[in-house]
Amino acid sequence: MAEPAAAPARTHGTTGLLGAGGPLGAAVAVAGVALLGLAATARPATPAAGWLVLGLASAVTPLLRITLPSGIAVTPLGGLALGVLFRYGWPGALLVLVPGVVVDGVRRRRAPARVGTALGQYALALGGAGAVTPAAGAEALSAWVVALGGAVYTVVWAAIEAAMRRAAPAARLAVRPPVGVDALLAPAAMVPGGVLVAALAQATGAEVAGLAVGSALWLLVGAAAWGAAATRTAQRKIADLTRRLDDAMVAVERLAVADPLTGLYNRRQFHLRLEEEFRREARANTPFSVLLLDIVQFRQLNETHGHLVGDAVLQQLARLLDGAVRPGDLLFRIGGDEFAALLPRTDRPAAEAALQRLVALAAATPLPAGSRRILVSLQGAVATAPEAGANPESLLAAATAALDRARALRRAQPSAADAAPPSS
């Protein structure tokens, strides 16, 4: 049977009886208790063993709960109750509800008011069905009895569910989506169970045996549906965990190859790619170049504007340089303010031209850093294989030595732009 999903532990609005769904929830609970009182005075003449069978089956149903995407919880309880309604009339159907609703409330630690509201929703739906559906008794279970009773039960239950959702506090609506087709399909799915229970009770001369077999079969159907739903839920969780693991692995892999601040390849990747480039270019017997760059007076920029501005400058400069190198060239951050580039199939004149282009681009491009726009000066050096080095170590040493000479020359001949870290 379908029932309203539990409200969140805390909602905005009233508490106590009205907290189970506001005034509407209170009215549903009161109506349910009243109908239950009427049912208790008109209990059908079913053997005590039959009531025991139905009571046990009802109490088991909370274990077979399936929560639909809309938040509606479905159990086989409605099927048992409809079976009794088709066979014995609505008073017995309402009495069958009680063990299942109470056990479910205790198991889920629901407030008494919430249990009363759930019982009232069941009771009103079954009472409406009983008002238009005569009990089959000794007669054959007719199709129109099933169709009419099932339709009324479905419509009443869905109408109450929709009204409860609309009247619910905004906090609850933010947690679960409004009722859709599930509100009709959930109670309608209980009708076949009612037919099964009633038909088996009617088909055998021993009412208790028929009720036992019908209830057991219906609970088996519910168990199968619960198992299928649990499997789908487990599969979704496994798929979600797998996706998260894949994302974590990608993140770890990226951390292993990328500089976390700029997103460029890191120093370790620079050395690995430099070795690969040597092997590739040695086979092809073509030149390639290493380009080293750093920012002039970057320490002073940090001291003047702060490290946050310095980090922003590094990020923006990395983005600028990465967009300016040729396709196939690789850019790296190999130190605090130090960058490197591998230029495949590039001789020394072409590499020096690339260096001058990048230096000029940085000098002409103010870099946004918070509320400031910073102009930076770059200095760099080039080393080309194989003439500057026959292996990664010697080539990198040649490039480093050339950069050191460029730094020394700049310190010996400072320009006006070096006097202070520029900003605008």
Q: What is the pLDDT along the chain (424 residues), one digit of tens a residue?
A: 444 444 433 332 223 333 345 788 788 888 888 888 887 777 666 667 777 777 788 888 888 777 766 667 778 888 888 888 887 777 888 888 888 888 888 888 888 888 888 888 888 888 888 888 776 554 556 777 788 888 888 888 888 888 877 776 543 443 444 556 777 777 888 888 777 887 777 766 556 666 777 777 777 777 777 777 778 778 888 888 888 887 777 677 667 788 989 989 999 999 999 999 888 877 777 889 999 999 998 999 888 888 899 999 999 999 999 999 999 899 999 999 999 999 999 999 999 999 999 999 999 999 988 788 889 999 999 999 988 888 999 999 999 999 999 888 888 776 645 544 444 4
Q: Which residues pair with 341 in a beta bridge?
A: 291, 331
CB 44 within 8 A of CB 201: no
d(CA 305, CA 312): 11
pLDDT at 1: 46
pLDDT at 311: 92
pLDDT at 346: 92
- Two tokens, residue 158: 């869905």
CB 377 within 8 A of CB 418: yes
- Two tokens, residue 421: 């870290």
- Which residues, other chains included, contact 389 with Cβ-Cβ below 8 Å and sequence gap of 6+? 383, 395, 396, 397, 398
- Beta-carbon count within 10 A of 388 CB: 20
Burial class (CB in 10 A: 0-12, 13-18, 19+), 109: exposed
pLDDT at 128: 86
- Two tokens, residue 232: 């789908």
